[in-house]
Amino acid sequence: MDRMLVVVFDNETKAYEGKKALTQLDAEGSISVYAYAVITKHPDGTTTVKQEDDYGPIGTLLGTSFGSLIGLLGGPVGFAIGLATGVVGGAAVDLNNARIGEDFIDDVDKVLTPNKVAVVAEIDEDWTTPVDTRMEAIGGTIFRRALSEVKHTIHEENVNAMKADLAQMKAEHAKAHADRKAKLQEKINQLDSKIQAQLQRAKEGREAAERQAQAKVQVLKAKAAAAKAKAS
């Protein structure tokens, strides 16, 4: 199952032990790691994000669920980006793009307090015991959540509802007196802008999901090629 994983540790040393454990589990075939990063929460509330490049392109894609999760965990105070992470940008910080519930972010935030360090990863795991056993042994507090499907239906329902309102307003506009027409036209313009924004957001969500799926395939192919080369 494709999941977001966050493991919170008391210090950076433990966090990097946790990161190493994840990569070992991946090498053993117990899980597949698509992307990971190490997040440090500083006393002043700022957040540093560090990421290595050895897990393929998914970690550098703006708008992916992984990038959005990191952005949401960073909070409103912003980031000090470390080691060319490239995963955080204005459009990326979106709960819908993250494909997880707000309660998950709230639960992690309660534990990821100043001076704590977390390993954040997108993984595929068939069962939770391998990760839990390794992380608990290091002293990590584990949070995981399966990724929800992209909510195209919700976007479509919202747009259809707004289009119905728009049609009604246009019909009223056609029959309205001059003094009323200007006010109706302003509302029509505002609603049309909202519709276009919703359509654009839905398009960006679909494109991000497609990029993410392609990136995962590339990661898996690279791992398969490396394993084949090692065996030969």
DSSP string, 37-75: EEEEE-TTS-EEEE--STT-GGGG-TTSHHHHHHHHHH-
| Token couple for 77 | 């105070």
Is the pTM of the predicted complex or chain greater than 0.75?
no
| Token couple for 141 | 């507090």
Residue type, 80: A
pLDDT of residue 158: 64
- Residue spans of the domains in the chain: they are 2-148, 151-232
**In DSSP terms, which residues pair with 31 in a beta bridge?**
125
- 3 state DSSP class of 100: coil
Task: Give the E-state strand segments of 92-157 in sequence order.
Answer: 117-125, 141-146
pLDDT of residue 64: 67
* pLDDT values of the chain reduced to their tens digit, one per residue, 232 residues: 788 899 999 999 999 999 999 999 998 889 988 888 899 998 887 888 876 544 443 444 444 677 778 878 875 434 333 333 333 433 334 555 666 767 788 889 899 999 999 999 988 888 888 999 999 999 999 998 887 654 555 556 667 777 887 888 888 888 888 777 888 888 888 888 888 887 887 777 677 767 767 777 777 777 778 777 877 7
Spacing of C-alpha 3 from chain mean position: 11
Closest CA to 205 of 98, 97, 99: 97
Rounded Cα distance between 171 and 164, Å, is 11
pLDDT of residue 59: 45
Task: Check residue 216 and give left, alpha or beta (phi > 0: left; psi -120 to 50: alpha).
Answer: alpha
Phi, psi dihedral angles at 166 (to 5 degrees): -65, -40
pLDDT of residue 114: 92
Instruction: Spell out a b/e string for 1-31, using b for 16 or more CB atoms within 10 Å of the CB, else e.
Output: eebbbbbbbeeeebbbbbbebbbebbeeebb
Residue with tokens 């795991």: 125
